[in-house]
Structure 1
Amino acid sequence: MMVREEGFQAPCEIASKHVVPAIRAALAILLVNEYGLSAYRVAKLLGMTPAAISNYLLRRRGGELVDKLLEDGEIKKVLVELAEKLISDDVSEGLPSHLCRICRVVRRRFL
């Protein structure tokens, strides 16, 4: 799918262009829709702008992969775990390591 379109690229290159934005979008959607946080609060939690969060919520960023992430039980479970850690300010490993963990699952499942 994305691998063929992108040609010869390392998995992390593909992830940075397609998977990470979809993960951020799915996380933003989850935090707003299921946890009732404002776009502003989500932006602060994720270190982004409220405008970027708004674009994720309106599906202007993240692509078609976002819905797949939110519908996949294993991935959603990890997203929920991360969302709860972000809300409770308990991201001891740091956001990047959590993103890498989710990214590995996404690449294994969908790429």
Structure 2
Amino acid sequence: MWRKIGLFIRYNVVIKMWMQMRTPCELVVKLVLPAFRSLVAKTLIEKYHFSQVAAAQKLGTTQAAISHYLYSKRGDKRIKQLEAIPSIQSAVDEIAFGIATDNFSPFDAMLKFCRLCKDLKAQNLVCELHKDFLVVPESCDLCASAQKIT
């Protein structure tokens, strides 16, 4: 029993250390990108009448992932939060339109998402997400400093 407790404690320490070292970019990839991809998939299917298979092919994922995006309640709160941000909704619409009309390559979509991420950092929205998940000092300026890196 003590061995299990020791393993549990070590596991929790490792997880806490890992969480403390999470960068804002990691949180974007883990939390924002899947929700963003879900919004693009929903737009392709609802607005442009793509099948789940066609949307999956265009987004480089599986039909099962698309089905999960459409019908899962997990992550629903985050998706609703993202939908309320005008720059995100605009990027979703632009990427979905580009994909639907074959005017967007996968590279164009990635570039658009990277620009969106940079805009979200400039608006301090990524900072808010970072602070929601980690104890971050009030004086933290990681996102602003990262913006200056060329």
> By the TM > 0.5 criterion, same fold?
yes
Contact 1:23 1:62 in 2 (8 A): no
Letter in 2 for 1:33: E
Name the structure 2 match of 1:99: 113
Greater C-alpha radius of gyration: 2
Matched, 1:52 2:65: yes
Distance 1:15 1:66 in 2: 13
Secondary structure of residue in 1 paired with 2:87? helix
Are the structure 2 counterparts of residues 102 and 15 from structure 1 closer, same or farther at C-alpha, using a change threshold of 3 Å?
Answer: same
Distance 2:57 2:67 in 1: 13
Residue identity (%)? 32
Distance 2:63 2:104 in 1: 21
Secondary structure of residue in 2 paired with 1:90? coil
Taking CA–CA contacts closer than 8 Å with sequence separation of 6 or more, which of the two structures ends up with the larger relative contact order? Answer: 1
Q: 4+ runs of 1 displaced by more than 6 Å?
A: none
Tell me by how many angstroms 1:82 deviates: 0.8
Letter in 2 for 1:104: K
Matched, 1:40 2:53: yes
Q: TM-score, normalised by structure 2?
A: 0.61
C-alpha RMSD over aligned residues: 2.1
The alignment of Structure 1 onto Structure 2 pairs a total of residues equal to 106
Tell me by how many angstroms 1:58 deviates: 0.9
Tell me by how many angstroms 1:59 deviates: 2.8
Matched, 1:14 2:27: yes
